[in-house]
Structure formats: C-alpha cells, structure tokens
Amino acid sequence: MIRVFIVAASRLTRSRLQNLLADHDVEVIGSGTVDSLAREFADIATDAILIDASGEQYEVVLESVAESELASEAAVVLLTDHAPRGSPVDAFREGVRAVLPSDASADQLVAALQAAAAGLFVVRASDMQAALPTIPATQSIDELAEPLTRREREVLQMLAAGSGNKEIAARLGISDHTVKFHVASILGKLGAESRTEAVSLGIRRGLVLL
C-alpha cells in the first residue's frame, strides 16, 4: 500500500479525489493546499503527492513544484487540463513523475501513483514520442519474447489497479487458482519477481492503460 498526500486549492476537489481513491491499495494520509504542505512536509511520511492543478496555468504550476523542492522528497503526480499535448518532458525536468488529465479515472490514478512511487515516469501513449524521441515510431515498446494473452493483459490491468486475487477472480468469473496461474505466467513473461515489479514493467512497456 502506498501513502498519498492530496494537494488542491479547493476542499471539494480534495474530498472528491480522496473518495475516488477509496477502496484501492492507497492510503490517503492527508490533504491540503500547496502552502500547507510546504509547512507540514517535515512531519509527513508519504510516498507520493497528488497535485490537482486544474484551472491553473501549467507553467506556473511547474515553477511552484520546482521551487518547493517537494519532488526531491516524494513522487509528484500532477492533474491538469492545461498541459500542452505531447510535451511531458518539461514536467519531468521539474521533478514531476506523471501528468494526467483532471478527469482521470480511479484506476488510472492508482496505476500512475504506484508507478511514480516505484520511481518510474508515467507517459500517456499519445505523448510517448515526445517523451522518448529516440525510439523509432516503428518500434513497438511492448514486444516480448512471449506476448501476454488477452486474459493476462486483463489481469495485469487489474493488478495495476490494486485488485487482489479474489477480486480479480470474481470480476472475471474464474477461480482463484486460475488467477494465480495467470499472475505466475505474467511474472515469467515480464521477468518480474513481484506483482509490483510486474505492474511497473507493464507500464514501461505500454501494457497497462493509464
């Protein structure tokens, strides 16, 4: 379980985000504004900071993140409606780990928070070429020696959302034993030693939708 602090100017927005993350593998340890976080950060043990910057200028938000130096202490995930499409690199330079639209779903938020807390950068498929211009457009980032099956991709997506074996089994209408079989196969194909590592590798390879 990762610990998250929510930052937003509006108390209503903070409450909405907290409700959105409820019942997922996330512990919301607190919420407040950027100013309050800067004052209290020394006493906060958090893995990730979720900042809602909707309604604010993108460049101004990035400057605030850089000046606060919060990104050096925890993974920063930014929600905004004003990020120029295809330009996540500026945010990454300022220490932000992920930039998502403000209407991102709970599954998308959880996956991004888990990846960011694991030390990874989260890039939407539409921004991939801008973030990694050295990768040829014809090269697939999800190539594996043995590709994941459709069912394995579904299970990996649910793992990224923080679902346990019983929940996955219930949602897919299969047994716990079958879920364990799929998880073991996913770990083997990705070369991962744990579920968390499998999710991280899946995100890096574009196998997990954010």
The tens digit of pLDDT for each residue in 20-74 reads: 888 888 888 888 776 666 565 556 678 888 988 887 777 777 777 777 666 667 8
Residue 94: both structure tokens together: 């300022």
Q: For residue 140, is it within any domain?
A: no
What does the chain come to in residues? 210
Distance in angstroms (rounded) separating the CA atoms of residues 52 and 160: 21
Distance CA 180, CA 191 (A): 16
Q: What is the pTM of this model?
A: 0.58
* Model confidence at 186: pLDDT above 90: yes
pLDDT at 180: 92
Token pair 């793992």 in the structure block, residue? 159
| Block residue for tokens 């639209």 | 101
Residue with tokens 């997506």: 157
* Alpha-carbon gap, residue 134 to 209, rounded angstroms: 22
Q: Is residue 59 part of a domain?
A: yes
Neighbouring CB atoms inside 10 A of 134's CB total 5
Q: Is 151 helix (H, G, I), strand (E, B) or coil?
A: helix
Q: Judge whether 51 lies within some domain.
A: yes
CA distance 130 to 192: 28
In a domain, 62, yes or no: yes
Q: Is residue 139 part of a domain?
A: no
Per-residue model confidence (pLDDT) at position 136? 41
Q: Both 93 and 156 in a single domain?
A: no
Residues 125 and 163 both lie in one domain: no
- Supply 35's token pair: 């100013």
74 and 121 together in one domain: yes
- Structure token digits, residue 187: 């770990």
Q: Position of tokens 């909707």?
A: 54
Write out the two tokens for 93.
């330079």
Residue 200, token pair as written in the block? 């991280």
Residues 75, 176 share a domain:
no
Same domain, 52 and 12: yes
- What residue type is 163 in one-letter code? S
Q: What share of the chain is helix, strand, coil (3-state, %, to 5)?
A: 50, 15, 35
CATH of residue 184: 1.10.10.10
pLDDT score at 137? 40
Residues 112 and 176 both lie in one domain: no
Smallest CA-to-CA distance from 123 within 141, 148, 103, 145 is with 141
Domain count, the chain: 2
DSSP E strand stretches across 64-140: 75-79, 96-100
Which segment of 41-50, 150-159, 188-197 scores lowest on mean pLDDT? 41-50
Domain residue limits at 176: 150-204
pLDDT tens per residue across span 89-127: 777 777 788 888 888 888 889 988 988 888 888 877 666
Whether residue 73 sits in one domain with residue 159? no
| Nearest C-alpha neighbor of 158 from the set 140, 142, 173, 144 | 173
Please indicate, yes or no, whether residues 192 and 163 belong to a single structural domain of this protein.
Answer: yes
The tokens for 162 are 């923080």
Indicate if the alpha-carbon torsion angle 2, 42, 30, 122 is positive or negative. negative
